[in-house]
Every structure is written in C-alpha cells, then in structure tokens.
Structure 1
Amino acid sequence: MAIIQRIEIVQVDLIPKTKRSDAIQSFVAQETVLVTLHCDDGSSGTGYTYTIGTGGSSIVALLKDHLAPRLIGCAPENYEHIWRDLLRHTNATAVGAITSLALAAIDTAIWDRNCRQAGLPLWKMAGGAQPRVPVYTTEGGWLHLEPSALVDLTLQAKDQGFLGAKIKVGKKHLAEDMARLSAVRNAVGDHFEIMVDANQSFTAAEAIRRAHAYSEVGIAWLEEPLPAQNINAHKQLVAHTSIPIAVGESMYDPGQFGEYLKQEACSIVQPDVARVGGITPWLKVAHLAETLGVAVCPHFLMELHVSLCAAVPSATWVEYIPQLDDLTDSRIRIEQGHALPPDEPGIGISWNWQRITAQQKFSTIIIK
C-alpha cells in the first residue's frame, strides 16, 4: 500500500474579473491554498481551498504546523481515517472555518490522488449518479447593479443557455429589491428560474416580510435569509412561506446540516466542499439530504461541485461563478443548460503550474 512521502503547499490570490457585492460584503480576492501530496509509488494528487479576502495565511499556518506533518507515512486509501484523525487533532479549533478549510485542502488532494490511481473521474468514483446537472449563473446578479444592468446581464445569461440566474437581495428598502426582481422577471419570462440570496442580512420578522413579497415574482429559492447559527428563526420562516429556503454556505460541519434537516428548518442544502471540510464530509451531507428528500444545490467552487453534483442523485443545480481560469487549463463544460462533469481521472481540474508558480504568494512550503 502506498504511503504519503511529501507535501507541498502554495497560496495564490485571485482578483475577480468583475465586481462582486452582496448585502454584507464585497468579494475582493480569493486566497487560494493548494496542497499537493506525493506518495512513494509515484502517485500524487492536488487539492485546494479558499477564503474571500482574509484568512489564507492562517490556513497555510495550520496546514504547515499541525496537519501536513501528520500525513507523512499515511496511506491515502484510508481517507476516512485520515479525515477523522485530523479532525480529532484539531479538536480545540473545530468546528471552525479555518480548520474546515484546511481539512478540505488535504481531503480534496487525497481524493484527487485516489481517483487518478483508480483511473476514474471523481463523479464516477463518488457514485456516478447522473451524467449532467442543470446550471445557473450568479455572475450577473450582484447587489450593486442597477435594474437595467441586471436585466441586460440576465437576458445575456438566458441567451447563453443558462436555465436560471441568482439575484442578490438585501437593499435597504423592500421596494428596491422588488424593483430589481420584477424587472428581471418581466424580461426573462416565467420559465426562467430566478434564485435570490440575502447573505444572512435579515432578522426573522424581516425575512418573513420579504419572502411574502418575493413570492410575487416566482422565485426558485430564498438563500441565506438569516444568520446561519439561528436554526429556530429559519424553522419559523419555513413555516411562514411557500418559498424554498436554502442554507449551507456558512456551515462548517456536517452536524450543522444534520440539525437543520432534523428540525425541518430548510428546504435546500448548499454545502460548500471547502467550507464543510472536503469531499468526504460533503458526500455525507448530500446522502443525508437524499434520505430526507431534500435537494442539494452547492455554493460556489463549480470546478469541484460539477463532479460532486453528478456523483449524487440529490443534487439539482450547479452554481456558475468562474474563478480558477487564471490557474487552470480546464473549463467547465455546459451543454443545453446543463453542466457536464469531467471524464479525466482525478477531481477534474487541470492545474497550470507555470501560472501558479508565477503568481504564488510565497515560496512553496515542503513537508517531508
């Protein structure tokens, strides 16, 4: 059985090509941390994780000082054991964003290595449930955009074949949100899906009020209406609206999803493979949701989520937000409004190491 001999860690900061804003923040940079594992049989795998603007150096420090050294001598086939061991080792900082994000970099690297060694793409290695998944775009729906720009960009998305688009909400006055949503709905017609995302900006009472108004334009779901830690408020909201309530991008442990599902406090779960701690826990969330008849529509990271969504039967949408183009030679394939998972062995990302080396923030850290 192969064992891990060497680990390499790099960080690259990516600046979005378009301005991205929501009700609580602007997306100024994606601090992307890559981890590559090298085994004694010559096999290797690369995984990654990210933050929006801050925290990348903290992830690197946790990997370098505490997590990566524990991998030396481990067998990558034992990915469940490795994930649990690292989680126990970081008990003092779990559940926590930095810890989960660091775990994800390692876990995705292990899955990449194991898929490559098996000669299988991730979507087949993890289940092979569906060969394509509907795709919607978020790139034209940011909160700073005026209604006329929203309409133009959403119509462009429709013409490009997307089956839906996400519009950010959370303007100071409900009337502003409604003007934007109504303008888009009138332009695209009734058969194009509109998702809305409040980014945890409402109180329970305001979420109920706005959900009632949003229902007039026929939205597919209301995403992150309330702070993620307030399960009871989400449960109250679910009871007061017919709009599906989506949560998950701000959850960092499968158990948090379990609590939401147990209390019927959401209609859709949106696990982010980096924020939940990697592919291993992401699959646990997806299969738990499946047993309860709840849809999975993951957040961001389309380059990974296209394969994970194809792996499980509970996934119903992939979110289109391109971010890795400057570091990769691979691109997501879209046909007739559906995203197709890569068929190459591994997690489906072809890294361009020449570009990565040119843009990395510091010299490569090597653990052996």
Structure 2
Amino acid sequence: MKITAVRVEVVSEPKHHAVRDAIQLLDRDGHVVTTIETDEGVAGRSDTYFGREPSSPAILARIVQDQLAPAIVGSDPRLIRGIREQLRALTDYQGTAGLSTFGMAAVDLALWDLLGRSLEVPVWQLLGARRDAIPTYAMVGWLELDETALADVAVRAIEQGFRGVKMKVGGGTLHEDISRMRAVRSAIGDEPDLMVDANQAFDYAEALSRGRAYEELGVRWFEEPLPAHDTAAHVRLADKLDVPIATGENRYGQRAFTDLITAGGVGVVQPDLRRAGGLTDCLEVGLLAAGMGVPYASHGGGAHIHVLAALPNTLYMESGLLPEDGSVHLTDGTYPLPTEPGLTGWARF
C-alpha cells in the first residue's frame, strides 16, 4: 500500500458561543481536515481544531499541503513511526514545536485512521485495549459564565452521568475563585470530582498560594497552574502541595514530557493530541507515565479515546456536555468505545 495524495480542507468561522479562560477568549470555530489517500482505495482522515486565531487553520493547511504532504506521498502509510521521524527531521530547521507539530499530528491521526479502516477495526483494537469504557468528566466551567449559569451547567453535566466537572480559575481574585467553586460544589454535591484549571495564568508564588486554598476545598487536581515550559517550578510546586498538579497540554512532542515526569513535576499527565504530535506520541507519553506511576487524563476527547482505552494508567477522559440528540449515553460515568473502523467517526481533536 502506498500514499498517493494528501488533501486538506479549511474551515474558520465565529464560534456560536465564545468561551473564556484565564488567559484568552476562544471565539473561533476553525479546523483543518486532512485526508490521506492510497493506491488501494483506502483513505484516512483527521480533523484538527483551532479555537482562536482566524488565520491559523489556513497557515496549518499550507504546512501540511506544501511541506509535509510531498514528503510522504509514495510512502507506506503503515510505517507510522517511520513517517513521524521523517517529518521531525524535515521540520527541524524551522522548529518542529508549534504549528509544525500540529501538522505532524494531523498526519499521524490520519494514518492511524487509515490503518484501522484498512483492517476494518477501530484503532483501540490495534493498540491492545485493556478496557471497554472510559471514565469521563465534563469541562463546562468557563469564565464568561456567572455563578448561577456556572452552577446550572455543572448540575446538567452530573445529570448526564459524568463523574465530575472541571471549571476555570485565575480570571479574577482568589476570593472570586473560591466563591465560584463553592457555588459549583453546593450545586453538584460532595461526591462528584471537582477539578480546577488555571491555563498557565500564575507565577510560582501565586500558584502556591492559590493551590493551598484550592486543596482545602477538596479539588481532584489543580491544572496548568504555571507556564508549561517551566519544569523546575512544577517540581517545586508539586513538592509543596498535596493536590495533584495536572499539566501537559501545552508541551510539544513526547520528548518534552521526560524531565517533567521523571522529576516528579506532574501528578496527572495531560497531553494534547495536536501539540503532542498525534496518537503515537500520546501513547508513548502515557506509557512513560505509567512506568513512573503517574495517571493519565486526556486533554480533550474525540480520537483520544483510543489511547485511553489502551493505557494502564488511564484516569479520565475530558468531554463537553453530551450531544442533545441522545446519541451518546454514559454508563456508570464511563464513555463507550467506538465500534466504527478507524478513529471515532473522524472525530475532531
């Protein structure tokens, strides 16, 4: 089997409901669809999401179409790790981290989708799954919501069967954070997990101060308290707090996780399929973390469910609210594995 063509489609439009975290407004619904075709008539597809800059999807599409695609046409699509190493070398001069990694992830996911479709099985079967359903929580607590709306959406998530909810913090004062957290906890009760996410908003001193306050309120984890690149500060913070530090979504490639995990700077590792470089790198990050006794919780859902099915240290999948059409139901707080060949209906990641 050989790759014969790579096609790219771009969508960029305003989001129906803009959401806010501590550092940015996400007001765009942009994405890039990458399709890899073969001489045997089997195609694989990936869908890369962009929630902010209007021009980013088009820039990514140019990288995939003009730089990455010519390098892989004629290759055997089953040699996924070989293609990854080829693209790493190709993008090294310009800097592989950043949009180059987004492009490599788009290719990687499309290749896994193609492999599953060629064998007519879902990708989790190819990875050696160890579970048939994934524990899941809902990320619903955006900062543009007032306390009443925040509590309402958290209750809705619990009514849909999620095991917990996550909310954003750091957009205002610590007093405001605590008031919002108490509103959510009062609304959902004591049993569901409550996670907080600062999106890299704090320096070390502020993260330590707020982390101590958050852990007194019984949060399950404290996510992205610090700039993602600062491994030393993560190690210091983890040593001072009892609440697990969750981070990883803004680290690029599997190699960027080694020091963080081995030094003890993360209590819940959270790669992002786009920034980590795709399913291949996320799987490798997860296995490294498993070897060090660190649990794994995905940043986002979609195609990530296949990795979560295979890892021994899976803790949680992140999700939004379930679709209104009733097409998905949770069982005991777990998300069912997809049955379609390839990835999850070409799910966005």
The TM-score with structure 2 as length reference comes to 0.94
Which residue number corresponds to residue 135 of structure 2? 134
Q: CA 1:98–1:350 in 2, change beyond 3 Å: closer, same or farther?
A: closer
Are positions 1:62 and 2:63 aligned together? yes
Which consecutive unaligned segments of at least 5 residues does structure 2 have?
none
Aligned to 1:21: 20
Structure 2 counterpart of 1:108, one-letter code? L
1:330 deviates by 11
Q: 1:119 deviation in Å?
A: 1.9
| Alignment partners' CA distance in 2, 1:51 and 1:200 | 19
- Correspondences of 1:73-88 after superposition (within 5 Å): 73-88=74-89
Shift of 1:42: 1.3
Counterpart of 1:258, as a letter, is: T
Residues 1:146 and 2:114 aligned together? no
1:343 and 2:342 are equivalent in the alignment = no
Which portions of structure 1, spanning 4 or more consecutive aligned residues, are displaced by more than 6 angstroms? Answer: none
- Looking at structure 2, the residues matched to 37 and 281 of structure 1 have their Cα atoms a distance apart, in angstroms, of 19
Q: Which residue of the partner structure matches residue 36 of structure 2? A: 37
- The 2-side partners of 1:333 and 1:312 are apart by 23
Give the TM-score taking structure 1 as reference length. Answer: 0.89
Cα distance in 1, alignment partners of residues 346 and 24 from structure 2: 30
- Distance in 2 (CA, whole Å) between partners of 1:133 and 1:351 is 16
What is the identity percentage for the equivalent residue pairs of Structure 1 and Structure 2?
34
Are 1:174 and 2:170 counterparts?
no
Cα deviations by residue, 1:228-259 (Å, 9 ceiling, x for unpaired): 11111111110111000001111111111111
* Secondary structure, counterpart of 1:200 in structure 2: coil
Q: Relative to 1, partners in 2 of residues 1:332 and 1:114: Cα closer, same or farther, differing over 3 Å?
A: farther
Q: Take 1:138 and 1:298, find their aligned partners in 2: how far apart are those partners? A: 12
**Which consecutive unaligned segments of at least 5 residues does structure 1 have?**
353-368
More off after superposition, 194-203 vs 27-36: 27-36
* Structure 1: distance between partners of 2:12 and 2:337: 26
Q: Tell me, yes or no, if the aligned pair for 1:198 and 1:223 is still in contact at 8 Å.
A: yes
Query: Using the alignment, how far apart are the partners of 1:98 and 1:110 within structure 2?
Result: 18
The 5-angstrom pairing of residues 60-209 of structure 1 reads 60-139=61-140, 141-209=141-209
Q: Aligned Cα RMSD in Å? A: 2.1
Q: 1:177-231, CA deviations, whole angstroms, 9 ceiling, x for partnerless residues?
A: 0001112112222211000000000010010000111112110100000101111
Would the alpha carbon gap of residues 16 and 320 (structure 1) be closer, same or farther in structure 2, given more than 3 Å must change?
Answer: farther
- Larger mean Cα displacement after TM superposition, 180-189 or 259-268: 180-189
Deviations 1:51-99 (A, max 9, x none): 2222212211111221001111100111111110011111013342101
Q: Report the AA paired with residue 48 of structure 1.
A: D
Q: Per the alignment, in what secondary structure is the counterpart of residue 48 of structure 2? A: strand
Q: Does 1:286 align with 2:294?
A: no
